[in-house]
């Protein structure tokens, strides 16, 4: 696989967006309720065609981002997920002149209380591509055992939406609060899913001093997702300004993949 490094100062596109689509995941840190630098966030979002968002608190933040992007993007938002005391939403933002359709499939129907925030699935269609995008925001909890318990259940999420939609091309992405090399993901990997980013080198969360953990990732069944170009990356937009970024943007970086959308 080939990792791509993006710069916030200069972004050179080697491909037509109609032929290559960049799909990203971004934990947007209380989007809609905390004070944000929306202009900078919009610049970050604009580097990508489809963005799965976690920690969306309401539609206000999404509407503000769309406005800053001159209404060239639109979004779909899930129903609320979480506990009685705390709820948030998943959303998918997308470039309107590239993506033909995004529709909400719905939440994972739990057999028991398996997830603190049930994953939601979105159907995405663009040119020859159609796939399910499942953003997730796993529990952080008091200890890694709680995170591992949820991670072991993502295989059930995959099977549920595959049966519900008869769709094989499914991408599970987001903030797992656990490195993707943890054994808890083995159940998912037995279904031929692979984590695209390497947790040993691809750090995605920000401390006050630098990059900290590798909690964000993208899981793909490489047998079914043939459009994946093997190009991927972590978009580091911090410019070593971590404290301000954590305060006004997020404590997570975006992770992304490229998908081939050329006609055969």
* Residue 153 C-alpha from the chain's centroid: 18
12: three-class secondary structure by DSSP? coil
Residue 57 CA to residue 89 CA, distance in Å, equals 6
Structure tokens at 38: 């929306």
Q: What pLDDT is recorded for position 17?
A: 46
25-79 tens-digit pLDDT: 999 999 999 899 999 999 999 999 999 999 999 999 999 999 999 999 999 999 9
CATH classification code of 2-7+20-260: 3.60.10.10
Q: Give the chain's length.
A: 264
Q: What are phi and psi of 231, to 5 degrees?
A: -110, 135
Q: How far apart are CA 263 and CA 241, in angstroms?
A: 41
Is the C-alpha dihedral spanning 56, 199, 231, 185 positive or negative? negative
pTM: 0.93
Q: Which has more pLDDT, 15 or 238?
A: 238
Q: Please report, for the chain, the start and end positions of each structural domain, with discontinuous segments joined by +.
A: 2-7+20-260
Helix axes 38-45, 59-68, angle to 10 degrees: 70
Q: Residue 13: pLDDT above 60?
A: no
Mean pLDDT for 191-217 is 96
How far, rounded to the nearest angstrom, does the alpha carbon of residue 122 sit from its chain's CA centroid?
Answer: 12
Would you place residue 111 in the very low, low, confident or very high pLDDT band (cuts 50, 70, 90)?
A: confident
Average pLDDT over all residues of the chain: 92
- pLDDT surpassing 90 at residue 218: yes
Tell which residue, 138, 144, 140, has the closest CA to residue 188: 138
Residue 264: which pLDDT band, with cuts at 50, 70 and 90?
A: low
């Amino acid at each position: 696989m080939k990792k791509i490094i993006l710069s916030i100062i200069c972004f050179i596109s080697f491909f037509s967006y109609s032929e290559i689509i960049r799909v990203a995941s971004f934990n947007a840190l209380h989007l809609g309720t905390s004070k944000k630098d929306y202009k900078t966030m919009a610049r970050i979002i604009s580097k990508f065609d489809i963005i799965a968002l976690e920690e969306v608190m309401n539609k206000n933040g999404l509407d503000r981002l769309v406005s800053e992007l001159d209404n060239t993007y639109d979004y779909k938002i899930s129903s609320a997920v979480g506990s009685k005391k705390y709820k948030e939403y998943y959303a998918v933002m997308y470039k309107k002149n590239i993506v033909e359709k995004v529709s909400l499939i719905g939440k994972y129907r739990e057999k028991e209380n398996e997830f603190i925030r049930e994953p939601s699935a979105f159907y995405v269609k663009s040119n020859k591509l159609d796939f399910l995008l499942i953003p997730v925001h796993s529990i952080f909890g008091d200890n890694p055992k709680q995170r591992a318990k949820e991670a072991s259940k993502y295989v059930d999420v995959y099977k549920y939406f595959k049966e519900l939609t008869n769709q094989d091309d499914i991408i599970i992405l987001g903030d797992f609060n656990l490195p993707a090399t943890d054994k808890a993901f083995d159940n998912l990997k037995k279904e031929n899913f692979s984590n695209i980013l390497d947790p040993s080198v691809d750090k995605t969360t920000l401390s006050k001093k630098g990059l900290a953990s590798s909690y964000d990732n993208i899981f793909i069944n490489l047998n079914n997702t043939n459009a994946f170009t093997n190009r991927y990356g972590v978009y580091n937009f911090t410019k070593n300004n971590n404290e301000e970024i954590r305060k006004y943007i997020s404590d997570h970086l975006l992770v992304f993949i490229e998908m081939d959308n050329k006609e055969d």
